[in-house]
Copies of this chain bind each other. A is one copy, B any other.
Amino acid sequence: MHKAINILLILLAFSLMANAQHPNLILTQQAVKEIRGSLGKYPLLDQTVENYQNKLKQALETDILVPVPKDPGGGYTHEKHKQNGKELYMAGILFQLTGDKVYVDFAHRMLKQYAALYPTLPLHPERKSNNPGKLFWQGLNESVWLVQVSQAYDCIYDALSAKERAYLEEHLFHPMVQFFTEENVRNFDIVHNHGTWCVAGVGMISYVMGDLKMVEKCLYSTRLDGSGGFMAQLEQLFSPDGYYTEGPYYQRYAMMPFILFAEAIQNNQPEKYIYQFRDGVIAKASNAILQLTYTNGRFFPINDALKEKTYLTQEMICNVDIAYSRFGHANGLLSIAEKHGEVLIAKAGLEVAKAVAEGKSQPFDWQSIELKDGANGDEGGIGILRAGSATDQLCILMKYAGQGMGHGHFDKLSISMFDNNQEILQDYGAARFLNTVQKEGGRYLPENKTWAKQTIAHNTLVVDGTSNFDGNLRVAQQQHADCFFFETDKMNSQVMSAKDHHAYPGVKMQRTIAMLQDSEMQKPIIVDLFRVKSDMEHQYDVPFYYQGHLIATNFEYKAYKDLRKTMGSDNGYQHLWLEAEAIPEQGSAQFTWLNDSRFYTITTITDANTQLLMGRIGANDPNFNLRNEPCLIVRQPKAGNHLFASVIEPHGVFDPTSEYTAQSSSKIKGIEVISDTDDATIVRITSQQGKHFLLMVANDKAEKNALHSVDTPKQTYQWTGPFKVEIENMGLTH
């Protein structure tokens, strides 16, 4: 009878725990077998394992320390608990790969210390009010810790006795889950990336402990009604294109809990079809974040962003490997994995390491792409045009998205340009030195608000020296710009156009960016048409934050040689030194600079009122927090309706190694407006050789079948669709 009951219990347990084999979160039992059989075959895999072994070697030789939490970010106890989390993770992985009990022993001893400590802890003494932790000052760090440690526990689960497990769960994991889901429930249920880390951590440890009821709370909120939790986050935080409204810098970080928890769900409850959810939004987000990089690996630094961030960060190892494994084995991902020099220890990472070893790696497939913003994809977006191979790609980005919450910048219709693996027209990014205590403890600097967020800090229109929405976040957050059209079917003429009617009351803006390729030009040229409409007169400024060294202008200017003043007193202008100013002749002003091994020229239309200002960032910066970088500002001091029409042109070569310099001057002679009405704009660009580039752009109807007709005294221009490009060779001009 006893025996029968035992058998029954065992059978029952088996059925309840059908999926409860271990490990089964990110690394699975099946993958462990395959990885064990693959060691010594695939360099990326071997390097990763060796790297883990080296890192753990020292840890195994020294005492385990689990200090009472005391310090904020960067301090000793903070860094120690972070490090312990990583060591637990690596120990778990290495136990699975090697079977060496020394790793179990290490992880178990450390976890027991945590189990002894955790129940005694009050809230962290340095806690932040809106998301406190116990081990860490921020609940965010505690969630990250749990995401790692749940994987460690999963890996050593079967090597512990039921009693040992019961002790850890009772004293550490259950209390931690309880803390997240009860005391700190506000953060658990919030639709925000902090919430994602939280539900991922709780969800993953709950899978390990077999608590599927708790997993449901992670997916649908503690209320189980979908008003919060992972599914709501997937629903609301990404646009249908997989764009995350705060921008790439924050999306990079947010991707990790999204993709790891999704992987855990897929491995444990494939019946949830998590990767199919919302037309595969996780795959889309995973692709979007990589498309939001340039060929040098850097994320586009829109909004608050540290420019140094590249796709080499830890988050992107998970993202790239899982994307490869789950979303179609695109060989372009492998070239990024090679740069990682490391893989995720899981089926995904094994597949990547194997494919790389088999020579399947190809350059990543950067594309011209539009990523719509907003949960419904109807709140503008980001447009990216590209041309050329990964080794020398011209890329221009226009931002016509929503504000992007508290980390958003007032930068409607701003552009950034990249070429030759360099930043050519920059977005300043954030004013911040990460984790550097002397710079306001590593937090955002005051100049992030007074400079980096302001409209004048961007390559876009500033009206009357003020920022979009007068710098008011609450107002800005309710509005967004709109895509007018985005057409990249023809490689030789890719064009995007966007509008904003909200950023400046009474002012309507439309910016059209065309990337036009022609055999006469070394690389495609960028045509930039910025159309402004207002019934009132305003001062209009359009800055270009060129990166590099000024080489020449075709206009005379007055330089402030020995006395320098600021450009203004607020809204960011107080941070700009006025270095020179000009009143150019009417026609086309040209401004040439050198960046790395190539020259660039802006050719811009000037009228009788145009002023050109040359500036440099760094005024009113007593703590030397800003980078002292230059700009050219095109100013119309008094205008109602106005069309800023410019060409931005890469040209020539500067090669000091072989002492070779060529084509340091522009191949463009000038640019003229043929017609500019509410229906359409036509401009003509003339090359030095006399070739004409005619660009016709719709301003009102962007439909593909809409017919446009423009009469001029000389000619009638007709076309169908949002734009047309005509290139005519008129012979040498005189």
In the complex, whether A359 has a CB less than 8 A from a CB of chain B is no
CB pair B657 A308 closer than 8 Å: yes
Q: Which residues of B contact A555 (CB under 8 A)?
A: none
Give the residue of B549, B562, B660, B665 whose beta carbon is less than 8 angstroms from that of A627.
Answer: B549
Report yes or no: B661 in contact with A435, Cβ–Cβ below 8 A.
yes
The smallest beta-carbon distance between A156 and chain B, in angstroms, is 26
| Shortest distance between the CB of A596 and any CB in chain B (Å) | 10
Contact with B along A634-672 (1 / 0, CB 8 A): 000000000000000000001011111100110000000
Set B551, B574, B577: member contacting A439, Cβ < 8 A: B551
> Could you tell me if B438 and A665 are in contact, using CB atoms closer than 8 angstroms?
yes
Q: Does A594 lie within 8 Å of B433, measured CB to CB?
A: yes
Stretch of A49-57, A363-371, A618-626 at the chain-chain interface? A618-626
A-B residue pairs in contact (CB < 8 Å), sample of 20 = A74-B661, A306-B656, A308-B657, A309-B657, A313-B658, A313-B659, A433-B551, A434-B656, A435-B659, A436-B594, A437-B665, A438-B552, A439-B551, A439-B552, A561-B620, A561-B622, A562-B566, A562-B620, A564-B577, A616-B628
B-side contacts of A622, CB under 8 Å: 559, 561, 580
Contact indicator B619/A562 (Cβ below 8 Å) = yes
List residues of chain B with CB within 8 A of the CB of A550.
624
Additional A-B contacts beyond A433-B549, A433-B594 (8; CB < 8 A): A309-B657, A436-B594, A438-B551, A561-B619, A562-B620, A563-B563, A563-B565, A616-B628
Minimum CB–CB distance from A391 to chain B (whole Å) comes to 15
Q: Are B562 and A314 in contact (CB under 8 A)?
A: no
Q: Which of A433-448 contact B (CB under 8 A)?
A: 433-439, 442
A312 at the interface (CB under 8 A from B): yes
What distance in Å separates the Cβ of A489 from its nearest Cβ neighbour in chain B?
34
| A307 (CB) vs chain B CBs: closest residue | B656
Interface assignment of A131: CB less than 8 Å from any CB of chain B: no
Contact call A310/B657, Cβ cutoff below 8 A: yes
CA distance A314 to B594 in the complex (A): 24
Contacts of A309 in B (CB 8 A): 656-657
A603 at the B interface (CB under 8 A) = no
Measured CA separation A621–B664 after assembly (Å): 21
Is there contact, CB below 8 Å, between A436 and B654? yes
Query: Residue A604 at the B interface, CB < 8 A?
Result: no
Residue of B nearest to A577 (CB): B564
- The answer, yes or no, to whether A606 is at the interface (CB within 8 Å) is no
A592 within 8 A of B: yes
* Chain B contacts for A436, CB-based, 8 A: 551, 594, 654, 661, 664
Taken together as a complex, chains A and B put the C-alpha atoms of A577 and B619 apart, in Å, by 12
Q: Known: A433-B594, A438-B664. Is A657-B312 also a contact (CB below 8 A)?
A: yes
Complex Cα–Cα for A123 and B241 (A): 69
Chain A 411-438: CB-based contact to B (< 8 A → 1; otherwise 0) = 0000000000000000000000111111
Which parts of A548-599 form the interface with B (CB within 8 Å)? 549-552, 559, 561-566, 574, 577, 580, 592, 594
- Chain A residues packing against B (C-beta within 8 Å): 74, 306, 308-310, 312-314, 433-439, 442, 549-552, 559, 561-566, 574, 577, 580, 592, 594, 616, 619-622, 624, 627-628, 630, 654, 656-661, 664-665
Q: Would you give the shortest CB distance from A662 to chain B, in whole angstroms?
A: 8
Q: 3 smallest A-B Cβ distances: which pairs?
A: A435-B661, A438-B552, A308-B656
Contact B561–A621 (Cβ < 8 Å): yes
Contacts of A563 in B (CB 8 A): 563-565
A659 to B141, CA, bound (A): 13
Q: Which residues from chain B contact A566 at a C-beta distance below 8 Å?
A: 562
Give the CA-CA distance A74 to B310 in the complex, in Å.
Answer: 39
- Give the chain B neighbours of A442 by CB distance below 8 A: 661
Residue on B nearest A652 in the bound complex, by CB: B436
Cβ of A309 to closest chain B Cβ, rounded Å = 6
Please determine whether A624 and B549 come into contact, CB atoms closer than 8 angstroms.
Answer: yes
> Which residues of the other chain, B, contact A577 by a CB distance below 8 angstroms?
564
**Which chain B positions have C-beta within 8 A of A664?**
436-438
Query: Which residues of B have CB within 8 Å of A437?
Result: 664-665
Minimum C-beta distance from A528 to chain B (A) = 23
Q: Which residues of the other chain, B, contact A616 by a CB distance below 8 angstroms? A: 628
Bound-state CA distance A566–B563 (Å) is 7
Neighbouring B residues of A656 by C-beta, 8 Å = 306, 308-309, 434
Q: For residue A557, give the distance in angstroms from its CB to the closest CB of chain B.
A: 8
**Distance A551 CA – B574 CA, assembled complex (angstroms):** 22
CA distance A306 to B665 in the complex (A): 21
Q: Which residue of B is nearest A569, CB measured?
A: B562
Given contacts A549-B627, A624-B549, contact A661 B561 (CB under 8 A): no
Distance from A583 Cβ to chain B, minimum over Cβ atoms (Å) = 16
- Residues from chain B with a CB closer than 8 A to the CB of A549 are 433, 624, 627
Of all chain B residues, the one with the shortest Cβ separation from A654 is B436
Closest to A313 in B: B657
Q: Whole-angstrom distance between the alpha carbons of A620 and B656 in the complex?
A: 27
- Using CB atoms, name the residue of chain B closest to A629: B628
B594 touches A658 (CB 8 A): no
| In the complex, residue of chain B having the shortest beta-carbon distance to the beta carbon of A621 | B561
Residues in B with CB closer than 8 Å to A313 are 657-659
Most B CB within 10 A of own CB, among A74, A312, A435, A577: A435
Q: Which residue of B lies closest to A434 (CB)?
A: B656
Q: Give bound CA distance, A664 to B440, whole Å.
A: 13
A326 to B195, CA, bound (A): 68
Q: Which of A312, A594, A659 has the most CB of B within 10 A?
A: A659
A550, closest chain B residue (CB): B624
Write out the residue numbers on chain B whose beta carbons fall within 8 Å of the beta carbon of A562.
Answer: 565-566, 574, 619-620
Cβ–Cβ < 8 Å partners of A661 in chain B: 74, 434-436, 442
Which residues does chain B contribute within 8 Å of A564, judged by CB atoms?
Answer: 563-565, 577, 619
The docked-state distance in angstroms from the alpha carbon of A594 to that of B565 is 27
Query: With A and B bound together, what is the CA distance between A465 and B356 in angstroms?
Result: 61
